[in-house]
Chains A and B, each alone.
Chain A
Amino acid sequence: SQQGEEDPQALSIQEGENATMNCSYKTSINNLQWYRQNSGRGLVHLILIRSNEREKHSGRLRVTLDTSKKSSSLLITASRAADTASYFCATVLRETSGSRLTFGEGTQLTVNP
């Protein structure tokens, strides 16, 4: 079963604008990760945030984590057409072994040139 829910399901913006995607989850986590998937391809890891962290940056990406609300957000600043892809949050749950990922259903981002 899916652990997370992403919001929105689809997002369409103009190049240069910022894109914000949200993720909610249900149970205690060890860490939360964001992945990007271009159509029909494998997933690419973007960023990992641990349960004791509140914010993390990587290039044009900013991720926040609120464990009290069981939610995370991914902000992509100054978007480019090449950012068009599906974005998934994935959690590693505290009670599971082996760091298997539990994914949400994803947000389809379209950046129009």
Chain B
Amino acid sequence: DTGVSQDPRHKITKRGQNVTFRCDPISEHNRLYWYRQTLGQGPEFLTYFQNEAQLEKSRLLSDRFSAERPKGSFSTLEIQRTEQGDSAMYLCASSQVTYNEQFFGPGTRLTVL
């Protein structure tokens, strides 16, 4: 395991459906981040975990979004009742030490029809 992995890489869903994404960070990294990126924009922070604790959530993370990191390993991001505005690339990143660089996964591209 040499990097952050995300699954699935692409997801097409109909409006109103629920979707769940998974992120597997680099094994020794205790911090895990979720970002969202729309076309032509930089990524925007959604939430982060230190070990299993969710320590910060952006106001972008509406009530329809929930993230978990059980046992401080992999993380899931669930979007309930998807809307067309949720269409974006969802990026996961992990890091080991405060303020150091973050290692990003390949992202999950969500398309809501």
Chain A contacts to B: CB under 8 angstroms = 2, 4, 30-31, 33, 35, 40-45, 48, 88, 90, 92, 96-106
Q: Which of B42, B89, B100, B105 contacts A48 (CB 8 A)?
A: B100
Contact A30 B109 (CB under 8 A): no
CB B56 to nearest CB in A, in angstroms, measures: 5
Q: How far is the CA of A106 from the CA of B95 in the complex (A)?
A: 22
Contact B101 A97 (CB under 8 A): no
- Chain A residues, CB < 8 A from B107: 41-42
| CB nearest neighbor in A for B60 | A1
Contact B42 A98 (CB under 8 A): no
Contact B48 A45 (CB under 8 A): no
Interface residues on B, range: 20 to 34
Best-buried of A31, A43, A96 by chain B (most CB within 10 Å):
A43
Q: Which of B48, B99, B100, B105 contacts A42 (CB 8 A)?
A: B105
In the complex, number of A-B residue pairs with CB atoms less than 8 Å apart = 68
Q: How far is the CA of A84 from the CA of B90 in the complex (A)?
A: 22
Some 30 contacts from A to B, beta carbons below 8 A apart, are A2-B42, A4-B42, A30-B99, A31-B99, A40-B109, A42-B107, A43-B43, A44-B104, A45-B102, A45-B103, A48-B101, A88-B42, A88-B43, A90-B42, A92-B99, A96-B56, A97-B55, A98-B55, A99-B31, A99-B102, A100-B33, A100-B45, A101-B33, A101-B43, A101-B93, A103-B42, A103-B43, A104-B42, A105-B40, A105-B42
CB B110 to nearest CB in A, in angstroms, measures: 13
Chain B contacts to A: CB under 8 angstroms = 4, 31, 33, 35, 40-45, 48, 50, 55-56, 89, 91, 93, 95, 98-107, 109
Q: Which of A30, A96, A101 contacts B102 (CB 8 A)?
A: A101
Contact A99 B109 (CB under 8 A): no
Q: How far is the CA of A13 from the CA of B63 in the complex (A)?
A: 45
Contact B45 A102 (CB under 8 A): yes
